[in-house]
Amino acid sequence: MSPRLASPAPRTGEGSLDPSTLALIDGAARLEKHPLARLITLIEQDHDTGRARRAAVFQHLREHPDTFPLRARVIGVTGTPGSGKSTLIGRLALELLGAGPAVRVAVLAIDPSSVESGGALLGDRLRTHFPVGEPRIFFRSQATYGDLGGVGRRTFAVSRLLRHLFDFVFVETVGIGQSEIEVTSLADATVLVLQPLTGDHVQFLKAGIMEVPDVFVVNKCDEEKLARRSVHELRAALDCARVGRRDGAAAHHVFQTSALHGTGVAELAAFLREHVAAPDAAALRQKELHFLRKAMAERYGGFGVDELRRFLAARGDHLDEVRYEELEAAALDAVRARVR
């Protein structure tokens, strides 16, 4: 490891947790909604003082792996508005929670509107599925603030926190295009929700999105004939998309659901439980580097991306040992030093 990163110069407040933050973490460990919500708000902060505290929080989580195991599977759920993503996630969460009293599920809904409160409606819809005060399900919405693709640094930061607290983390995003790709960078598996016979799949095909998801769901299959035709259309579209795939042999996973009636949901839940694994260190590092590059691009454009590449190359083989927060801080310092 490079000497500079092996013994980072202590920053003010870094590594030490103030009692109030520690109390939030303790509350979050017990899945108390208010401490958890406040902890998330703290993690979402983006300025430099926020970073030091964020680093201390993650340090604490890592030092207590029994309480905060890195066990969650993050599942991106995407598709056009109204395709039934929220309803389906609600059903899936119920199904997953039903597997045992220790299972915990979080939902992070990325709201395309610019105000945080805009997500309340989605949350309310979702909450109707759950007994009041059920501590094992947690819902949070996040405004996009114009992040390209909706899924941004803040989403990534929150997903990193939720990975330590839950078994399944659903990230719901809307739109055709960039957001599907961005959520894939963050998630361990991505589910694309389609509506029958709306031509959704044609839009996705045109946008080059069909190659991205791991799982396809034709929702609203309340009517059998309609459903059969839709799935037939989807499979034809997938065969089309497969031509350009690198892993051409990989099978597509297609599910038919009615989130309204709950049909097909058990099968989808079983698939997620059995076939989506929590990522290993290397996979997590890939995600971290993706969002680090994105942060650099947003702040410093092509210059930032080049500087990051230079910075990472200089760290070479020892990169694996460096914590994300250190990496982020050191990379930012390096770029800023060159800007001055």
Ligand X SMILES: Nc1nc2c(ncn2[C@@H]2O[C@H](COP(=O)(O)OP(=O)(O)O)[C@@H](O)[C@H]2O)c(=O)[nH]1
**Tokens matching residue 283:** 């996979």
Task: Check binding of 87 to ligand X (CB under 6 A).
Answer: yes
The residues, any chain, with a CB within 8 Å of residue 309's CB and separated by 6 or more, are: none
Provide the terminal-to-terminal Cα distance of the chain, rounded to the nearest Å: 26
φ, ψ at 208 (rounded to 5°): 75, 20
For ligand X, the closer CB: 55 or 191: 191
For ligand X, the closer CB: 86 or 184: 86
Angle subtended by helix axes 85-97 and 120-127, to nearest 10: 40
Read off the amino acid at residue 289: L
For residue 87, the partner it binds in Mg ion, ligand X, none, with Cβ less than 5 to 8 A by kind, is ligand X
Q: Which of residues 192-251 bind ligand X (CB under 6 A)?
A: 219-220, 222
Determine the size of the site formed for ligand X (CB under 6 A). Answer: 14
Task: Check binding of 86 to Mg ion (CB under 5 A).
Answer: yes
For ligand X, the closer CB: 210 or 259: 259
DSSP calls for 76-129: EEEESTTSSHHHHHHHHHHHHHTT-TT--EEEEEEESSSSGGGGHHHHHHHHTT
- The number of residues in the chain equals 340
For ligand X, the closer CB: 159 or 219: 219
For ligand X, the closer CB: 35 or 264: 264
Among 84, 119, 150, 304, binds ligand X (CB under 6 A): 84
Among 15, 65, 81, 199, binds ligand X (CB under 6 A): 81
The residue number whose beta carbon is nearest to ligand X equals 84
* Closest separation in Å from C-beta 123 to ligand X: 11
* Closest separation in Å from C-beta 84 to ligand X: 3
Task: Check binding of 78 to ligand X (CB under 6 A).
Answer: no
For residue 258, the partner it binds in Mg ion, ligand X, none, with Cβ less than 5 to 8 A by kind, is ligand X
Cβ(305)–Cβ(297) below 8 Å:
yes
Read off the amino acid at residue 42: L
The residues, any chain, with a CB within 8 Å of residue 318's CB and separated by 6 or more, are: 1, 2, 5
- The residues of the shown chain that bind ligand X, judged by CB under 6 A, are 81-87, 125, 219-220, 222, 258-260
